[in-house]
Chain A
Amino acid sequence: MSSAIAIETRRALKEYGTGSHAVRALDGVCVRIDKGEFFTLLGPSGCGKTTLLRLIAGFETPTSGQILLHGKNITTVPPNLRPVNTVFQSYALFPHLTVADNIAFSLRMLGRSRSDVLQTVERMLSLVRLESFASRKPQQLSGGQQQRVALARALAPEPKVLLLDEPLSALDLKLRKEMQRELKRLQTETGITFIFVTHDQEEALTMSDRIAVMRSGKILQVGAPREIYNHPVDRFVADFIGETNFLSGRVEGDKIRLSSGELVAAETEGHSGSVTLAVRPEQVGICPAGTSDSLTAEIVDTVYFGTDTHCHLSLADETELVARLQSPPSGNIGLSRGEKVGIKFNPGAVQVLNE
């Protein structure tokens, strides 16, 4: 079984500073990343995702714990002896070398033959579609092109694992979308394990095979994008991944009584007492006031977003929530401020989280 695992961390702990000033950046992280997987570390800044990446790259050694690559302990192996390469957030391209020489750098350090170097460089250039830029210097390229050079440079020595440290954060939105697809294509084509660090939840959802959500040096949840989005383990994950309405209530048998006094059907097994309900805005439906099994709400505001219209609602006890409705062809959903409506949650869309 262990042969399917590319990277494993065992209680990886990293502290900066000593004594009472020590800051724990990583708090005993255990994670297994499969071979050929597109694995994303997702979390707000300061959550330890970059620290974990740097431990895997070898730029830092853990205060305690182990890091295994293909089943071998590499905890103290220096970065130049690890078959792991990094795409840096700042790209860190060598300014004195041409694009081709940047890509050839690792191959030369590894002592590959001249013809091998030439061949690989050519293959990498065509992989990232920069054939005509081989003799340019990095300063002469656009941000997106530099990004592709950084990718080609890191992929050239065919690492066992490719680490990507927020590589798309410096690009504008349109280019970022393009590079997301490009990255996914490269990963599929090369079959190399990608470990991708980002704080952008949308990026994580669209690209990853699995996502690890991190906070304060710990991994809160690991799972496929759909699983993380639809079944977040706690309030933080639910809030961090996409927009969510939170409603507080108490378990009453197989239903939950909201603070507004109304009852909502939910999967209550394993929960008791005070709980938080999480409902995605797109899972909230609006029906005429008084419809059976609906909650009573009042329209506070409607905001037009083009494809969607966000409908801000207020329950009887003034709990606010948002419904995301698809905009009709006319563009006007026909609801006005102050109107009384009924709201329903799609079946299975209500997540119960312990307080």
Chain B
Amino acid sequence: MSSAAEIAAERKERRRSWLLSAPALFVLLFAASGPLLIILVYSFLPPGKYGNVEWGFSLDAWVGILYSRDIFDGTYKLADAHLTIFWRSLKLSLYTTLFTFLVGFPTAWFIATRSAQMRAVLLFLITIPFWTNLLVRTFAINQLIRNEGVVNTFLIWTGVIDTPIQIVYTDFAVFLGMTYVYLPLMVLPLYATIDRFDMRLLEAGCDLYASRWQVLRHVIVPVVKPGIIAGSILVFIPSLGAYVTPRILGGGRNMMIGNFIDLQFGAGRNWPLGAALSVTLLLAVAVALFVYVRYATRDDNRV
């Protein structure tokens, strides 16, 4: 009955929902997909002499990700420097994810088991670092750990050491900085799932002959797994593409992929290589995510 009127109403409804989502679609199309497409195109062009790109077709950039051409005899060999950077990025990102989890889990558990009033205060404290610019916070860490910084000065003053410990401009410094920066991103999703965790399950596990470790391993971790997955993703992805932290705390030598890409668009004057590296990073993250989520959400039914 009255199908014509219904269809008209439905059409109007659909038009309105399109209209409402138009701004978001516009932004996505031009601010996200557009640049991505340009990057993809650039990666197949030859580099210009003074940066920029020239028109033509070249796979040099893609080959250049893993191989470098000898200037004299033109032979290709594996680019060790690139591999070192990839490996460092992966290693530091994994360490950061693991360590933020090890620190973040007890923190989130602690917050979730406080009184409602205390929880609000603690969560507020967790979000305080977001108030300040990342650059400023990273320089602050630099100030703490550099050779003439607070930590070294204090240790020398108390006589524990004679010469400053080299912390800044090492992989460790980058790891430390990233752990600090990304810790809240691990704590917040963990808190959200632990908050919903039914504490009576702990007693049930204990009652059914599980030791404290077994309760943690077989009850708590599986139940809060969605939070662990979310937190790991939120930490791992920006870690892999980190730019500011390795730049300030790693110096010029301890580059990560982010800095390496930046280098190609700047002093390296090889835009296509930078573009190819960017696309590679994007694909690597997508594949890693896919594998991880598939693996982590797999049902471990064991009967």
Contacts and interface: CB of A to CB of B under 8 A. Distances in A.
Contact of B223 (A79, A95, A157): A95
Interface string A69-85: 00000000011110011
A336 interface: no
Contacts of B285: none
B203 A110 contact: no
Contacts of A104: 303
Contacts of B223: 94-96
B211 interface: yes
A105 B222 contact: no
Interface residues on A, range: 20 to 34
User: At the interface, is chain B mostly helix, strand, loop or mixed?
Assistant: helix
Interface in A23-78: 57-59, 78
Interface string A277-291: 000000000000000
Interface string A81-99: 1001110101011111110
B66 to A, nearest CB: 42
A153 interface: yes
Interface residues of B, number: 21
Contacts of A85: 207-208
A80 B211 contact: yes
Interface string B160-202: 0000000000000000000000000000000000000010110
Given A92-B201, A92-B203, A153 B208 contact: yes
Contacts of B219: 94
B303 A80 contact: no
Contacts of A58: 207
Interface in A105-160: 105-106, 109-110, 117-118, 121, 134-135, 153-154, 157
Given A88-B203, A118-B303, 12 more contacts: A80-B209, A86-B203, A90-B198, A93-B204, A94-B201, A94-B223, A98-B301, A109-B210, A134-B303, A135-B301, A154-B208, A157-B208
18 contacts: A59-B206, A59-B207, A79-B206, A79-B207, A81-B209, A84-B207, A86-B204, A86-B207, A92-B198, A94-B205, A94-B219, A95-B198, A101-B302, A105-B205, A106-B210, A109-B211, A135-B301, A135-B303
Interface of B: 198, 200-201, 203-211, 214, 218-219, 222-223, 225, 301-303
